[in-house]
Amino acid sequence: MRSNPGMTTEDIIYKLSEGNPGAISVMCSMIQQYDSKGNEVILLLDYLNIYGSDIWIMFVDKYGRDLDKMISALEDKASKLGYFI
């Protein structure tokens, strides 16, 4: 995992995005639309080792820019691995 408890939300977003503007946009949208749940989903990305352009590609190509579908899929995958929000 790349995040740690001492990091701010902004630090975590930048670290996980690897500077990719699309990934930054997706994670900021998660926070804007889902408040604290958005923060938890961002930590799921880290837990699942999904970083940088992979975040953007997942959002655009796999889930057709549907944030609800993407978040649901991430939660499902994480729960199968024993991580629950």
Classify residue 23 by burial, with Cβ atoms within 10 Å: 0-12, 13-18, 19+.
Answer: buried
pTM of the model: 0.91
- Whether 60 maps to a domain, the answer reads yes
The dihedral formed by the CA atoms of 70, 50, 10 and 19, expressed in degrees to the nearest 10: -110
| φ and ψ at residue 18, rounded to 5 degrees | 55, 30
Q: What pLDDT digit, counting tens, does each position of 69-79 carry?
A: 999 999 999 89
Domain total of the chain: 1
Helix (H, G, I), strand (E, B) or coil at 59: helix
What's the pLDDT score for residue 40?
93
- Whether 3 maps to a domain, the answer reads no
What's the pLDDT score for residue 35?
86
What's the pLDDT score for residue 65?
98
Q: What pLDDT digit, counting tens, does each position of 1-42 carry?
A: 899 999 999 999 999 999 999 999 999 999 999 988 999 999
- Whether 69 maps to a domain, the answer reads yes
- Whether 23 maps to a domain, the answer reads yes
- The Cα–Cα gap between 57 and 74 comes to 14
